Amino acid sequence: FHDLVEIFAIGGRVPSTNYLFLGDYVDRGQHSVETISLLACLKLRHKARIHLLRGNHESRNITRTYGFYAECHAKYGSACVWRAFTDVFDCLALAVIIDDSIFCVHGGLSPSITHVDQLRVLDRFGEIPHEGAVADLVWSDPDGDVTGFARSQRGAGYTFGARVVDRFLHTNGMAHILRAHQLCMEGFLVLFNDRLSTVWSAPNYCYRCGNVASILHVDPYLKRDFVTFDAAPESRAPAPQPTPDNMYFL
């Protein structure tokens, strides 16, 4: 939550600045309720100035395991708030296109999606499935060691290489793919001859990784500029001990 406030301090307050968030608003620390509540309030107040994509953690199955369900139950004494938010998650968009040029998604590409028009007919209003296009969009990752698609070690989605990225961008007349989903120690990573970027906005991930984070500024001419930042002083909590569940994140 404090790092989200830091993002607004760096990038500018809503509605003076337009914001696109790429997903995973919960299960990322000890203040998931406060984080998603603030984003939801800002979306309601300034719906044209802030946009929220769905990540793989905006899911009932994942949040039951990785913290959000337990946090809601501890803070409110029941699962009612968790249920309300997971119902909202079902309505979040899976992708956004900036000025017909930058394709934005939480995870990555899918072998089932070759043209962006196919996204418009997906049945996305529900729980994220274990496989298929919706799962691929929130779970897949780029990989410089493959050219096409390969099964992901995450157990969902795919890894994909430069050839897949080039074909998707050419087919859709776009120039760049912007996504999140993977820890970047320097806050961001640019791959495939500047055709794909990963932006990571959670500093000192899981209170122990020591990484910096970034936000990406896109100007009216579509010039991209990463701004990195460290964890806010208020968010430097003691690191929780690893368990078989939360080792997933590392």
- Provide the annotated active-site residues: 57
Q: Are strands 95-98 and 102-105 parallel, antiparallel or unpaired?
A: antiparallel
Q: Token pair of 34, please?
A: 């406060």
Is the CB of residue 136 less than 8 Å from the CB of residue 157? yes
Contacts of 152 (CB under 8 A, 6+ apart): 139, 140, 141, 158, 159
